Structure 1
């Protein structure tokens, strides 16, 4: 209470706390700096006048860290691609990387904090040399919300999935083909593609349940077919067992 109360004493002591000391973790006979940061524990070292840091995986507590593992984590970070820039909204670094299925852009790094960074593959015909910061931002803007459908009021979006670029509205998907571009298509053209898909798609199947978005893109749905309910994702159909 008063000027000598607990809150006042805490604030007074708090002002004198050095976060560099509080965040440090002392490990016996360990050659690297270990600290607890805003996003979890990390290690650091000086190399050629540059400070290199690497976050610890979520399943590796500092007490279990070995010199060999620390060397591996820091080497991977030192060899990692340099960021193209920082995302203006998230303030996360944006990278151009090469994966087993081709090049892609990524927002955020692989620090093992349990959160998977957002990744978007380069579009068909794009080369890594074509990708600059602005193009990376446009790719990471996918899926793009184009606006509301004038008949239903529901959202119309454009994105890229396993089978290529598409527009989607209320469970109806229509492919985007050249000369249209998923990064440039606007609502009026998307409505045309959706109308064409609806007119030429034959008798529509009744959607029994929306299961959500597949990791590769596109909705996963349970439909009522001629021979009973089945699960659909893109061009892949799987009949449900009778006891499900």
Structure 2
């Protein structure tokens, strides 16, 4: 899985370079001028003479983009521990909350940092014996992930709807407790989930004004779907 995510990041970087060159070429606007030595409409283009052409480019200004949103469902639920002889009950969750700050240095690419946070809790029930169905353990797992975030824009980057591909990779920071119901003692032998964090999503920004808008995403990693607000400065 790690190799696949890293490969996706390299592919994304290459795709970004190709899109930057493509957008550069699309930004050229030919403007034709009448030759300076022409004296009338009738002799504007003399035989063998090529009209002068001036090329100008659409302006691009780098920007800092800030996004704040909420993602569902929290994939961190799948990282909760399993206990022999016990079934996990329905989990409750708060999050995933997400936020990112990126520097958009070209039409097609921005690079920055993404942070997510989620809180998942679930009871565990004894699945056999005389105490079948009794609560055995209460579990709670908090996760904060810090990831390098790359966003590749494509399509009409100046339009009201701006589609993009997000790829992010970094580290998980876990805080988990599993407490035995009978005596209230925390269990200290639960292993920590993996430290590698990632997110890959397809999304779109929807402009509401020059500097503010909405975003919607669908993907996998820290969340399946997310939405929120985005700001550009």
User: What range is the shorter-chain TM-score in?
Assistant: under 0.3
Report which structure shows greater RCO (CA 8 Å, sep ≥6): 2
Per residue, is there more strand in 1 or in 2? Answer: 2
Per residue, is there more helix in 1 or in 2? Answer: 1
TM-score by length of 1: 0.19
TM-score by length of 2: 0.19
Larger radius of gyration: 2
